[in-house]
Chain A
């Protein structure tokens, strides 16, 4: 079977979308499927440009392909009969921008008609797709809001689950520094002030925004937490990250987009997860007190959750094992994911 993965690119940018695309192709090849990804440039900055881009993608033609997997707007507009749409991130530029204009009372008729055209094409495309999946709860919610569709959620699995093992318990909580907003990390640092001395937090990974990262370090200094909150801001290798996860007591996934962060790595490595009440995938797995701690996103509540996890190594390990079992039952792995995409 010949499978073409269609997605968009911003030249010279490499991020999560590119990683998922590469893994998808690689994993299909491992299963003996002929697969290739084509990444087409897309720059949907202005409403007028959006119409051009929709035209571009609707005009392309395919040959020698049995199945198409499209990963996002406007790549899914390339016409093809047997097509799976796996929407990894929605395209806020074509929805939210207009919402913002509306909110400011500056809704122009032209912009509104572009938005309607985008949504109309989206809906037509999604309805004619053989398979339709959302890559996260956030995307699913957006599709429900704008398109009236509620696709199943299909998470991009870990590419390297074998790396993540419970190798020990050094008694710290690990949080990912690789997230866009630092608000949640700032809350965790504040919560640390309420914890008994001796408890430790490790923030790992290269931050997206250097200025905000410095702000966090400043916050730690001012709070006198230098010895207890450690930053590892190297561009950690996956092995390096696996070592940090493997020796943590628990992993905090408390960001705004809870489907990002390290929860898959944590569940894989049998570590309990600290998360906040929300709509993310991790909340499907985190049963409060059984596989992790779910709490309100306030300093006090987070502190209580951290105390609960840091209080007992044995209890944390039990929760981690239960989380791992639940995680495995969800079958978030590449062969199962590819089977659903090509079903």
Chain B
């Protein structure tokens, strides 16, 4: 085709009709034939196409959103499908099963870890319990020994209090003008014994002081009895003797006696006797 003919062909408007799809199949084939041989025709077609495309773009109208949904539904295509590589069907059906197995494996693993943790916890707990038990036993032992100590100290304290009371009294008696102190010395029955008895000159009361006596220990059936010798006759002033451990009084008030020349102590059966058992005369001293 000559240059003039080509120019006339382009200007005939057939290429515009070609782009608009307004040619018969025969005419269309002819245009394509000519275009394949002539770059000018191809360029012209391209320019027309671009103009029509831009024109269409500029006159675009947004369709409603559900057209797209319906379209993909109609075509049987998943609407949200965005990835290029679509997995074949069998892989899809297989995958959930694999995931499920993985899931249960993970669960078993988790349970195994939990079991190990439980055992470890049990071991630690047992050890802790054992240590605590030992400590508790040690504490019990300590408490017992402390209790023993406490009792011992309490005993010591009460003894000290008892002695202190007696000693206070002895000191008071020594200073006093009111009280007469009668010393009784050991007799044949118990030569090493000695004892003091205090006699009030005013009210005639008689006191004895456990601290101020040194007499042999009595057995369960016997106790000591204090006598006053009044004009050669023995008068009982009462019994004494530390038979009762709860008695913490060092001083014991005996019966009063208006007058006496001497005091004596005999060992008598429990409760005392009417008359003194002279062969068991332990101590005696005159006023």
Do they bind each other?
A: no
A residues near B, CB below 8 A?
none
B residues near A, CB below 8 A?
none
